[in-house]
Amino acid sequence: MQLGELEEKIKALPADSPERKILALALRRIEQRKLIHYKPYHWQADFHNAGADNQQRLLMCANGVGKTLCGAAETSMHLTGRYPDWWKGRRFETAVHWWIGSISNQTQRDYTQPALFGANLGDGLGTGFIPGECIVGRPRPRQAGIGDVVDMAFVRHISGKDSTVTMKTYEQGWRMWQGAAPMGIWIDEQPDETAKDEKPIFSEIITRIFRSNGIMYATLTPLLGETDMIRHFMTAPAGSGIWWRGATWDDAPHLNQEQKEIAKRSYGEHEVDVRTQGVPMMGMGRVFTTPEAEIKTVAKKVPDQWARIVGIDFGLYHQAAVAE
């Protein structure tokens, strides 16, 4: 019986029915063991297993393919020490301290937090990838102006000790990313390098794992374009300990073709590639919305007798120059 069918059967039974109580308890236990049932796609497994030899990893994907769930599943494994039989990635034999990074308190509450702890911190606590039985007490809340935002939580590791997970956001500023040296850092989406309070965050992350000999991994859709962080991964030589891969809508069998077509028609032409293929959007916010493929031409050798032109553009956060 599928979970949906079980939920419908429970709803159809009288509220005081013994059978309903038993089935509700069974459903609750299933929901609190999501990690056991995690079956990664091939590209997700590649990402996990690459952690054995790479200290820094990037999973750069289209929207909706399962990148955040992938990051949450791995983080839960490290926090609990519960690794599946197929696991070939990095292992931690004792309790760890982990940092989780999100864009804002709102995105944390809506994305990374539910993936780890469950849909809410009430009845839903324990229905994320961290098994309910492993969550020690209740997560410590953050005074964030919105409710149900986790600041810190403790997770029981199979070693018998408790792992610590600290939730952070980019909107808190780069100084909040200093100090301790956690064994691992997972960031979902990337800091905005055009914002002075966020630009140093990636450097701080690398510094933290350098000190602890830990690992970091990022799961994101490259809506900010080919940033310094993206180039850091994409230009790294083989064997450097810096690894990345992508995933497109075609790599996610759970996406319905009709839904994909509807979503694709809703995007601007300039953002179709980044949202469906995970290709970095060119330019900061992209000044021109014309698809690049429509204006690119095949490179040709310029005759020596032709005049040359030189152009330069000075920006606040970047500069560009061209000479021909």
- Total count of domains within the chain: 2
Q: Residues 75, 178: one domain?
A: yes
Looking at the domain assignment, is residue 322 inside a domain?
no
Q: Check residue 164 and give its pLDDT.
A: 98
CA 35 to chain centre: 17
Indicate whether 109 and 178 sit together in one domain.
yes
Task: Say whether both 218 and 272 belong to one domain.
Answer: yes
* pLDDT one-digit tens code per residue, 169-216: 999 999 999 988 899 999 999 999 999 999 999 999 999 999 999 999
Query: In this structure, is residue 246 part of a structural domain?
Result: yes
How does pLDDT run across 252-301, given as a tens digit for each residue? 999 999 989 999 999 988 889 999 999 997 654 444 445 566 667 777 78
Is 17 found in the same domain as 62? no
**Domain assignment of residue 3, given as a range:** 1-31
Q: What is the DSSP letter of 203?
A: H
- Helices 18-31, 3-12: crossing angle, 10 deg rounding: 150
Q: What is the pLDDT of residue 287?
A: 44
Quick one: which of 122, 72, 76 has its CA closest to 96? 76
Same domain for 179 and 60: yes
d(CA 188, CA 99): 11
Calpha distance 46→59 (Å, rounded):
10
- Res. 303: pLDDT tops 80: yes
Residue with tokens 């969550």: 135
- State phi, psi for 191 to the nearest 5 degrees: -65, 155
Burial, 25: exposed, middle or buried (Cβ in 10 Å; 0-12, 13-18, 19+)?
A: exposed
56-73: average pLDDT: 97
Q: Is the pLDDT of residue 6 over 60?
A: no
What CATH number does residue 186 fall under?
Answer: 3.40.50.300
